[in-house]
Amino acid sequence: MYRIGELAKLAEVTPDTIRYYEKQNMMDHKERTEGGFRLYSDNDLQRLKFIRYAKQLGFTLNAIRELLSIRIEPEQHTCQESKRIVQNRLREVELRINELQHMRQSLQHLNDACCGTAHSSMYCSILEALEQGASRHNEQPQGGN
pLDDT tens string 100-133: 999 999 899 888 877 777 777 677 788 888 887 7
Domains with residue ranges and CATH for the chain: 1-77 (1.10.1660.10), 89-138 (1.10.1660.10)
Predicted confidence at residue 138, as pLDDT, reads 63
Nearest CA to 70 out of 47, 45, 42 is that of: 47
Q: How far is CA 131 from CA 41, 65, 84, 118, 135, in A?
A: 58, 45, 43, 21, 6
- For residue 119, report the phi and psi dihedrals to the nearest 5 degrees: -75, 165
What's residue 61's pLDDT?
94
Phi, psi for residue 69 in degrees, rounded to 5: -60, -45
Q: Which residues contact 110 (CB under 8 A, 6 or more apart)?
A: 126, 129, 130
Q: 50: buried, middle or exposed (CB in 10 Å: 19+, 13-18, 0-12)?
A: middle
Q: What is the structure's pLDDT at 142?
A: 57
